[in-house]
């Protein structure tokens, strides 16, 4: 049936694929960009008629720290996540007069299988024959001024809940980063 009311959209689908530019295929580029950036666009288009009819709504897209700074080895992932930020900012301007807010959340390393897995443990500690999770944690903590290896999923959820609340009714076109202080090293 038809949806009568949609208050909040959280566009959170995403895939990560690592490949240096010399090994990156067109297929992998298109697949990552279609999912990570195209997924946000398609989700917004799906809920927009209902939100516009009601004159209110909250749209929150999940980008990534890779959308604010490059890491190497994943140009397609970075491009898709930078694209999410640009998409959010432009849509926010389009919808600002309508009562609909549009924002992005940029998680840093989050304790999920995408960011905490055996493959990454090996890649982060190539100097060790058999790196352990403790070795990985110690290396990851170096990236975060708060000296934690990663943030927890609930830290991202709380930020999303804030953006979905009436407390954030005048926050639109913004990018909130949850990265244990990593953005303090960037100029913007």
> Which residues are known catalytic residues?
77
Please report where in the chains the tokens 């999303």 appear, as a residue.
Answer: 160
Q: For residue 165, what are the CA distances in angstroms to 44, 117, 186?
A: 18, 33, 28
The span from the CA of 61 to the CA of 9, in Å, is 8
Tokens 């953006």 appear where?
Answer: 163
Structure tokens at 132: 């352990």
d(CA 129, CA 66): 28
CA angle at residue 166 from 161 to 170, to 5 degrees?
Answer: 105
């Amino acid at each position: 049936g038809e949806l009568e009311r949609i208050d909040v959209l959280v566009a959170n689908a995403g895939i990560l694929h690592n490949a240096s530019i010399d090994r990156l295929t067109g297929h992998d580029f298109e697949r990552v960009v279609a999912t990570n950036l195209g997924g946000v666009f398609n989700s917004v288009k799906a809920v927009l008629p209902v939100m516009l009819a009601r004159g209110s709504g909250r749209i929150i897209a999940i980008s990534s720290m890779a959308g604010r700074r490059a890491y190497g080895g994943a140009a397609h992932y970075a491009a898709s996540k930078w694209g999410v930020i640009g998409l959010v900012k432009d849509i926010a301007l389009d919808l600002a007069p309508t009562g609909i807010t549009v924002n992005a959340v940029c998680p840093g390393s989050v304790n999920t299988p995408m960011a905490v897995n055996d493959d990454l443990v090996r890649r982060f500690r190539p100097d060790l024959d058999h790196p352990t999770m403790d070795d990985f944690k110690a290396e990851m903590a170096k990236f975060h001024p708060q000296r934690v290896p990663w943030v927890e999923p609930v830290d991202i959820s709380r930020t999303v809940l804030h953006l979905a609340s009436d407390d954030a009714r005048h926050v639109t076109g913004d990018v909130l980063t949850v990265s244990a202080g990593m953005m303090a090293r960037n100029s913007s």
